[in-house]
Chains A and B, each alone.
Chain A
Amino acid sequence: MSEGGAGMRIDHPHVGVTTAFLGMPTFQQAAKESLNDPVQRRNLAHATGVIREKRAAVVGELDNWEELRRAAEAIKNRALFSLDDYLMEFEERAAAAGATVHWARDAAEANRIVVDLARAKQAREVVKVKSMATQEIELNEALQAAGIDAWETDLAELIVQLGDDWPSHILVPAIHRNRSEVREIFLRQMKKVGRPAPEDLTDDPPRLAEAARLHLREKFLRADFAVSGANFAIAETGSLVVVESEGNGRMCLSLPKTLVSVVGIEKILPTWRDLEVMLQVLPRSSTGERENPYTSIWTGNAEGDGPQDVHIVLLDNGRTEVLADEVGRAALRCIRCSACLNVCPVYERAGGHAYGSVYPGPIGAVLTPQLRGTSSEVDQSLPYASSLCGACFDACPVRIDIPSLLVHLRTRVVDEHRGGVPRPEAVAMKAAGWMFADHRRYEVAERLATSGGKALRSPLFGRREVLRQLPPPLNAWSGARDVPVPPPESFRSWWKRTEGGRHEPRCAPHSSTETPSGQRTSSRSRSTEGE
């Protein structure tokens, strides 16, 4: 079996935070496509439903959950607000314990450091622990370009890599795939890059997990070079922490001779004892477990145990820009638990790929445009990828007020367009402002709307209750949403006619479409139909 250099072909769009970012359709366009994928929607609705229940159960058994969230928030803020001091402390302690600390301004620099280290060790392949930071910098692509194979060892990352796909969830990157798709990918692809999947493989999850165990074990036992990220970096001791479930992390962290960990500078915790808060909130928020199966903590190198050549790459890649925004910096508290994805009604329906980034969901909508800037179409659209319902804030273990950050970023996107060609939203808002400014104008507009609504609800137009498409410039709104047909009578004229309901029979004989309350029954968006 030849494995040298060829690796997996990677032809998905650049969804990292790199200069190679080539642009993606806006969230609203991409979401529309994914809404038409019933398999993905079913997979997502099932998966997020399961994990929401698990999380609720383990959070509910603690009576100090809110206290823990506030402590986690304060710990991360303390680290961020003196980040320069803590980074230097971390560097000093890690170096004293035997690690070599590198600094990388951006993705390209980080990739260069890792590639150079791998070349110096003459590594032909590296085994990888699931890491958002290395996804973000597109390290696998950089290694591949240097003729070095990078093997993802987390089960979901393996599914994504073998399927030439890209992740759609922070914790469960292959959440959009169901068991029969996974079986097909394993049967088709494993033989191309190593030990083939058993021929009699079924789509039973334990059999699929076993196939991954067999396929990856030869890689673990053979590999000399591993790459990881870290969940936490502790300034006081120079320790790194990796939280995982499968044991692939432990394999990578303890079997190879060389270990390189790429760590975002925002991963710092001031003290070792801060772990007592973080190791309670992270597993409960993430997998819905009291504690995840395996947590590894290491400090430099340990004599006679694990990799002796230990490197840490401290990565900026836009984080200092986020830190400079007094409001936006709250997003740097994120511990990548993905609780916000699992509770988000928009994520559940649109799926992770629509966000055009390795960071999907509500946190992605605030993190990606801040890290990547708001010059591309997709990044401008991300702050609007939300209904601002606030479920993400309630679920966030470090209390990031994502709805407020979204509004803050919307302001930024709008401000950046000032002076240029006005966007359709701006035109519509201006028109709306003119109309609402004078009650007479408003009443005229309302009468026009209700008479239009009456016509549309008539048999002539097939008794329509929902408009799929509005004329320009309002199609900017209806492109990703359905608009209820205006009711035949507005609330104001109903109030006037019945003197506030006094002349209305108690049980209205007419159907809901003939009263203003009809708005309620027709305002369900298409995306919730059939569920």
Chain B
Amino acid sequence: MAMLHEAKNIGSSSAEKHPFDVDKIRQDFPALGLRVYGKPLVYLDNAASTQKPVSVLDEEDRCYREYYSNVHRGVHYLSQKATEAYEQARRKVQGFVGAARPEEIVFVRGTTEGINLVASTFGRGRVEAGDEVLITEMEHHSNIVPWQMLCEQTGATLRVAPIDDRGEVILEEYEKLLNERTRLAAMVYVSNALGTINPVERMIEMAHAQDVPVLVDGAQAVPHMKVDVQALDCDFFVFSGHKMFGPTGIGALYGRWDLLSAMPPYQGGGEMIRSVSFAKTEYAEPPARFEAGTPNIVGAIALGAAVDYLQGLGLEAIRQYESGLLDYATEALSAVPGVRLVGTATHRASVVSFLIEGAHPHDVGTILDREGIAVRAGHHCAQPVMDHFGVPATVRASLALYNTRQEIDRLVTGVAKVQEIFG
């Protein structure tokens, strides 16, 4: 279970060594000092994307100024420096998610590309007409559409494990849907729309009991908790850099070595080959096989800096701090008459999704914006989740390690302003 897994990390946490000083942490993020419409910014749209610490910004800048060149090609000094830094970033990501070896980490543009890569290589090689792919009802569109496309192309069927009204996957239903036709299961670790932390360890176990490989969408997990892909025993794990304080346009796919090394390439081009002739091309071993063309070198290096930043604070310390903050936000918003929370799973991270009676989320978003509060209003790229709850949209406040209780108080004041206008 996820909780057991988290419990394991408490001992190794740096929380005791460094108390979690959020005021000091906020100084690391230049954007948090912004004022919008004359008011100090309250940034609560972290599930969409996070702000960046100085260390990430500096590393990006330093790379372009001091050690930039193309990687894996040149014999010259700069190319060697850039290659070393790029491969070091891969090792940082390996350590970050607990992969057995760095070759199991493929740099991609983000979660979406990682899922598409697996769907169109591993998936295409495995899924045939009459087969099934299993996902859950709470997936982000990025973990629905690639599988839908795969099913359309192959004649397979997409199966969907339902959620209950708290926003938790109904495990019995999920288990029932796993059968001998299931070729792959894909699920979100932490829901971007509801904040639900899925019991992925258990879900992977159930899938493996039927020899079904599992892809975990970890985009909303990695900024908030320690992830260990070997402890989870997942086959693929994908996440984006920009949601964990790194740059946009970079993310990573973890794939078990035996699976990756048997997979055909994703895109063809330079970098991914061993030798090319017009008669035959031999492909490189992973991860190069899946990194055709010049990669996002600086993005990967800056993602490495984001990993350093998170590990410096301590993932367990972050989890504990955010857990207290989420409880505070949940209680504060629940206490407001006319506010209804959407998604009340027992285990949640980061997200409070809510509705204000008589006010459409889009209007709420506009009014909060004028108060300096950035939230997301909409379907959060998870329309099936909205359909389940029978709402077109919600207001979503999503927290990160730099948010404070004072900011939650400002959100609650903002909600009162909405009610004043729409009362």
Report whether chain A binds chain B.
no
Seen from chain A, the residues whose Cβ lies within 8 Å of a Cβ on chain B are none
